[in-house]
Amino acid sequence: EADSANLLPLLEKQWGTARLDHLRQIGRIAQQLGTPAYLVGGAVRDLFLKRYAPDLDVAVEGDTRMLAEACKAQIHGAHYQFHAQFGTAILEDSQGVALDLAQCRLEHYPAPAALPEVHPGNIHADLARRDFTVNAMAIRLDPQHFGILLDPYDGQADLQAGLLRTLHSRSFLDDPTRILRGLRFATRFQMDLAPECHQQLKQALQADIFTQLSGARLWRELRYLLELEALPVALSLLTAWKLWFLLRPTPPASNTMPTLLQRGQEQIQWLSAQFPEEPLAIFIPMLTLIWQDVTLRDIQHYLDRWPVPDRSQLLADLRVLPGLPDTLLKAKRPSQKANIWQGVSVAGILAAMAIYADNPTLVDSARLYLQVQRRLPSPFNGQELQTLGLKAGPSLGKTLKLLREAQLDGEISNKENAQQWLIKQGILPPNPL
């Protein structure tokens, strides 16, 4: 029977002893407290997929803080943070490897797409609230049964068959974020929805379930989707599952979108290799690309619903993008080109490089701006200009801008010729010689 499979050999092979020893200690301490603990969720699934699970989730039939406290007292070097709001604890071992402790819970959905009412429950209730059978398996951690699999919904068989199956027919109505979670899992693990779940999906869409989901929750899921490495692959699922409406009014007209997004990803990788310390939200350039042929009015409609950061810059980028090749062509001087790029966000520039990949002049100009022009140190800062005799105020800002442009155009390169240049422009009085 699937339920009694002992996974010890597999666990040892996949994870090695350090991780297992830590789990054993937690299981033993939980047992002493009379609140059994189980390994749950993605880590169990990933074990069967032979993928290394970075995050471990432990479900406890009882108080997580009490267990965390006992672990701190008994495990050398262990410490924890308790999050009262969620009743969860993050337990760290002496090496700083973290693990999540959450209390087993029973969930009840008072209304479709609403947040559930939560009560303490046992491991079976905790597995019953989960999204897919492949995510509803647990491994016992108590010393007598360490490594025994609990698989009440036969997730192992679904995993082998590559099927994502909900635990009951109302699952997507209870929580439509599961649809997008499913899309991510299907993409990452090359799985498909089980036949009856395709039917459930259809019913959920007929019920317009996503309109009942808060914009913040929807956006959170969409962001995860946009950040998928396999996003270009996920697009065919968006079509097959009829979910494009979540991102655009109509599916993309041509089938160039996967290539476009892949190019975008390549540009993002290029930039992070150039500037590893520069933070960049991957989802913004991806969204820019997905929206590059959508009307601003339609885009506004989406943006009104989601808490997207920097939305006015995103809209500004989308406004500039179509005319960019022409605008750049008209700009003759390097400073004029740089000024155009300066009005576009870094995300927008990366999107432009993907859209106009067959325009080497544009791509080179974008690279030059990102690599050199935007970071060029000015020969003088505002304070130095003041010591040279210029007054503070708007005119100082204007002078700084002129200096920057002269520098971009190769007219000046150091303090000395910058000072001469300022004299020539009549901004500084001539040298008293």
How near is the Cβ of 413 to ligand ATP at its closest, in Å?
Answer: 51
| Binding to ligand ATP, residues 13-52 (CB under 6 A) | 41-42
- Scan for tokens 């006015």, then name that residue: 312
- Helix, strand and coil content of the chain, in percent to the nearest 5, comes to 55, 10, 35
Q: Residue 376 is which amino acid?
A: L
How near is the Cβ of 180 to ligand ATP at its closest, in Å?
Answer: 9
| Binding to ligand ATP, residues 123-142 (CB under 6 A) | 130-131, 135
How near is the Cβ of 131 to ligand ATP at its closest, in Å?
Answer: 4
Number of Cβ within a 10 Å radius of residue 287: 24
| Binding to ligand ATP, residues 139-198 (CB under 6 A) | 175, 177-178, 181
Angle of the 360-371 helix axis to the 334-342 helix axis, nearest 10: 80
When the beta carbons of 49 and 357 are compared against ligand ATP, the nearer one is 49
How near is the Cβ of 351 to ligand ATP at its closest, in Å?
Answer: 26
d(CA 287, CA 223) in angstroms, rounded, equals 9
x/- mask, ligand ATP, residues 409-428, rule CB under 6 A, reads: --------------------
Number of Cβ within a 10 Å radius of residue 385: 22
151 to 3, 4, 58, 137, 168: CA distances (angstroms)? 5, 9, 16, 5, 15
Q: Which residue is nearest to ligand ATP (CB)?
A: 42
When the beta carbons of 228 and 299 are compared against ligand ATP, the nearer one is 228
How near is the Cβ of 286 to ligand ATP at its closest, in Å?
Answer: 18
d(CA 82, CA 101) in angstroms, rounded, equals 9
117 touching ligand ATP, by CB under 6 A: no
Residue 60 near residue 103 (C-beta atoms within 8 A): yes
When the beta carbons of 120 and 325 are compared against ligand ATP, the nearer one is 120
| Binding to ligand ATP, residues 50-109 (CB under 6 A) | 55, 57
d(CA 246, CA 183) in angstroms, rounded, equals 13
DSSP assignment, residue 431? Answer: P
d(CA 325, CA 352) in angstroms, rounded, equals 9
**Contacts with ligand ATP, residue ranges (CB under 6 A):** 41-42, 55, 57, 130-131, 135, 175, 177-178, 181
